[in-house]
Amino acid sequence: MTDTAQAAPPHNVFDTVLVLDMGSQTSHLILRRLRSLGVYSEMLPCTQVLKELAWKPVGIILSGGPSSVNSPDAPTVDPAVFELGVPVLGVCFGNQLIAWRSDRTSVAPGLKREYGETSMAIRRIGGHADRLFDGLGDTLNVVMSHFDKVVHLPDGFETIATTANSEFAGIAHKSEPIFGIQFHPEISHTERGTDILANFALKICGARADWKMDNFLEGEKARIRKLVGERAQVIGAVSGGVDSTVAAKLLNEVIGKRFHAILVDTGLMRLNECDQVKQTLEKRLGIVLTVVDGSQLFFDRLRGVTEPEAKRKIIGETFIDLFENEALRIEAEAEHTPHAGKVEWFLQGTLYADIVESLSFKGAASSTIKSHHNAGGLPARMQNGEAQLKLLEPLRELFKDEVRAFGRQLNIHQELIGRHPFPGPGLGIRIIGEVTRERVEIVRQADDIFISMIREAGIYDEVTQAYAALDSSKAVGVQGDARVYGYICILRAVTSVDMMSAEPYEFTWSFLRAVSRRIVNEVDGIARVVYDTTSKPPGEHPLYPHSLYALRCQQSQ
């Protein structure tokens, strides 16, 4: 990102277990499991050179991944991983890499693929090797996902677990704290998976379970004071969502009037969004909010653009252009204020999930899910340090549920903390195809009906996020006695903890029919409504409906 100093450094305070990403789409779940135990964990690409870190982890986990260790372009790790003197745990591909590094013939394709749940037998052999499965009984149901496997033990290792298809489902070095497991402990269907990670982090690595929001809050306030200094001013992108609200409240407490909250009206906001956000932040949080109308500029720049990634980047660049203009305005107005310095920092509510989903396979091992508006979607000058403003991202080490806990520490009202996420690019990336004022107004009206009916049903807090999207393809329907040719409205609602994985919410059939009926009857331009039942993975991020597998819940004819 723009300035390495702006990233929060909790690993300077808390014991950190480092996860090296080898390409698995569930690598982030390892972090979630560890943090749920109170152990701070951070994920970096497998290409990370350890000597370049300003801190030393207490343990290292090598994630799974889709590659074969015998492939010439397979990911690998810095040899220092095994020379640092800290415990190492390899998961799936990471397990195979540990064996392969010791013996290049120890990993080969299995006779059978092994995917899904499998019964695993634990072997007790005495000594330190038993610590990984300490207290977990003799058998566990675990989740496998592999074709290659360890086919014979490399020198110096012992077998600590087996399955019918994997003789070496768990291995441990005889004298060093190096372990490998063929299954995925981070996946919820693995029995006692979190306990296995707890044994590694707490017992083998000796990490302290002191990752708590109240500890993080005080450290982050002190860090911001030092970073921003006594005179520099900060402008902040505020949308009314949980992330930007928490970030704005934090900055308002730390630097007071030197923080300037700005909401850019992109023309892509939800119904009455700007007015509601301004009233809420000023009345409930004491944050003075400036609303900048940039709608015409956004629509002009998005004209004719249909590719989702291009839309994200255009929206991100336009945001920064407007914020840089606002910085100049604020500086001009503050010329005669004795203690006001230049506007040097740009606050964003970037979360850890945003960073993870913006990684590329080459820059890090995990596949790119999207260029996030808070990360890869920013213009190049913001990412390489050439912009007028430097990024300040106090929440970038946190997952969504941790941000909500952080907000409670700041005494933000539950109604704000529990609000469904809304993407920075707004309704622009909830329209599949070109963004026009007509289409925005259509999806805005449909979204308002959907959310209001969820609230009326008393299930808003059961749903992590819900929205209406618009497919610019058109379908034929019949309304009254007339044949109509209108857009397809796609409804999406999910439950999730960290927004890295999600499951569709199971509405009643009567509710879906009622919502669909109202949208078709009340929103001109929509001829059909469908409900997206895709989980994530394999579906894309729940905020972004560009890879939808929709199930028609009602057809108006």
Neighbouring C-beta atoms of residue 18, cutoff 10 Å: 24
**82-86, 113-117, 273-277: least confident range:** 113-117
Q: What is the structure's pLDDT at 28?
A: 85
**3-7, 15-19, 166-170, 480-484: least confident range:** 3-7
The one catalytic residue among 146, 184, 372, 373 = 184
Q: Where are the beta strands (DSSP E) in 83-138?
A: 88-91, 107-122
Is 243 annotated in some ligand binding site? yes
pLDDT, tens only, 199-227: 999 999 999 998 888 778 888 899 999 99
CB 220, CB 255: distance < 8 Å: no
Query: Does the active-site annotation cover 186?
Result: yes
The one catalytic residue among 114, 186, 393, 402 = 186
Q: What is the structure's pLDDT at 140?
A: 97
**132-146, 337-351, 432-446: least confident range:** 337-351
Comparing 96 with 496, the larger pLDDT belongs to 96
Is 241 annotated in some ligand binding site? yes
Instruction: Using alpha carbons, select from 460, 517, 457, 511 the residue that is nearest to residue 489.
Output: 517
% of the chain exceeding 90 in pLDDT: 63
The torsion angles phi and psi of 319, rounded to 5 degrees, stand at -55, -50
Q: What is the structure's pLDDT at 553?
A: 34
Is 291 annotated in some ligand binding site? no
Confidence of residue 2 (pLDDT cuts 50, 70, 90): very low
Query: Does the active-site annotation cover 372?
Result: no
What global pTM score does this model have? 0.76
Q: Where are the beta strands (DSSP E) in 371-458?
A: 390-392, 431-432
Instruction: Using alpha carbons, select from 31, 23, 25 the residue that is nearest to residue 61.
Output: 31
CB 46, CB 21: distance < 8 Å: yes
* Whether the predicted pLDDT of 375 surpasses 80: no
**4-8, 38-42, 286-290, 343-347: least confident range:** 4-8
Neighbouring C-beta atoms of residue 556, cutoff 10 Å: 18
Is 242 annotated in some ligand binding site? yes
The torsion angles phi and psi of 221, rounded to 5 degrees, stand at -60, -45
**337 CB burial (10 A radius; 0-12, 13-18, 19+):** exposed
Average pLDDT of every residue of the chain: 86
The torsion angles phi and psi of 265, rounded to 5 degrees, stand at -80, 100
Q: Which two tokens stand for residue 225?
A: 């004071």
Task: Report the residue count for the chain.
Answer: 557
The one catalytic residue among 11, 42, 46, 92 = 92
Q: What is the structure's pLDDT at 130?
A: 95
% of the chain exceeding 70 in pLDDT: 85
Q: Cis omega (within 30 of 0) on the bond before 87?
A: no
Comparing 381 with 253, the larger pLDDT belongs to 253
pLDDT, tens only, 404-461: 999 999 999 988 898 998 888 899 999 999 999 999 999 999 999 999 999 999 999 9
Cα-trace Rg, the chain: 25
Is 547 annotated in some ligand binding site? no
* Whether the predicted pLDDT of 370 surpasses 60: no
- The kind and range of the H/E element at 2 are none
> Average of pLDDT values for 173-178?
96
Instruction: Walk me through the domains of the chain, giving residue ranges and CATH numbers.
Output: 10-204 (3.40.50.880), 213-418 (3.40.50.620), 431-531 (3.30.300.10)
Confidence of residue 368 (pLDDT cuts 50, 70, 90): very low
Confidence of residue 485 (pLDDT cuts 50, 70, 90): confident
Is 239 annotated in some ligand binding site? yes
CB neighbour burial string for 38-63, b if at least 16 within 10 angstroms, e if fewer: bbbbbbbbbebebeeeeeebbbbbbb
